[in-house]
Each structure stands twice: as C-alpha cells, then as structure tokens.
Amino acid sequence: MANIISDETIEYVGILAKLELSPEEREQAKKDMGSMLDYIDKLGELDTEGVEPMSHAFPVKNVFREDVVTNQDMREEILKNAPGEKDGMFVVPRTFE
C-alpha cells in the first residue's frame, strides 16, 4: 500500500465524521482509507488533460420547479422520524454555540 494513513489523520477524520472508533476499528479504517487513496492514485495516472471535470453521470441540465406551494402541513408524518418530540418540535441533545 502506497498511502499510509497516520494516527493523526484517522483521528481528525473521525472527529469530522463524529465517529468514535475502537483501536481495532481505527487500524481497519487506516487500511481501508489507504487502499481507497491507492485506487484514486491509480485513476490519477490517466491523462485527463483537456477533459472537463464531471459531477453528473447523465447529460441532464436545468431541472426546475415553479414557485408554487404544493406541500400541505404534514407535521405529524414528519415528526414520526424525529428522535423525540415536544411542542411540535424535534428534540435533540442540548446544543448551542
């Protein structure tokens, strides 16, 4: 494996992804990420000079909707997906900046 992922990198990626990894999972993640980067490096060997970066696989463009209200109140349905509910709102762990 050409790409060696350091402990610091895996720690940082873990923080960004809000994941707590056990020591074993951490080692596995380092290996997985290393091989992913190897694969990207392999792709990088291709000559892409003059090729436009692609973000979508299908040649579709300009899909719009008109500015018309089509949704009615569906709070009850929506709140079924909430981790908890109070006063018609989603309950989440205490969060503030």
Partner 1 sequence: MSKQYETVIGLEVHVELATKTKIFCGCSTAFGGEPNTHTCPVCTGMPGSLPVLNKQVLEYAVAVGLATNCTITQYCKFDRKNYFYPDNPQNYQISQLYLPICRNGKVEIETEAGKKFVGIHEIHMEEDAGKLIHDEWDDCSLVDYNRSGVPLIEIVSEPDMRSAEEVIAYLEKLRMTIQYLGASDCKLQEGSMRADVNLSIREVGAKEFGTRTEMKNLNSFKAIARAIEGERERQIDLLELGEKVMQETRRWDDNKGESYAMRSKEDAQDYRYFPDPDLVPIVLDDAFLEEIRAKQPEFREEKMRRYKQEFDIPEYDIEIITGSKRMADLFEATVAIGSQPKKVSNWLMVETLRLLKENNMDPEDIRFSPENLAKLISLTDTKAINSSVAKEVFEVMFTENVDPEKYVEEKGLKTVNDEGALRKTVEEVIANNPQSVDDYRNGKEKAIGFLVGQTMKAMKGKADPGMVNQILKELL
d(CA 56, CA 50): 18
The residues with which 86 forms a beta bridge, in sequence order, are 89
* Contact flag: residue 19 with partner 1 (CB under 8 A): no
H or E stretch including 36? helix 23-44
* Contact flag: residue 70 with partner 1 (CB under 8 A): yes
Q: From the CB of 45, what's the least distance to partner 1, in Å?
A: 22
Q: Which stretch binds partner 1 (CB under 8 A): 1-9, 19-27, 33-41, 55-63?
A: 55-63
Which residue in the set 15, 19, 36, 40 belongs to the binding site for partner 1 (CB under 8 A)?
15
d(CA 24, CA 36): 19
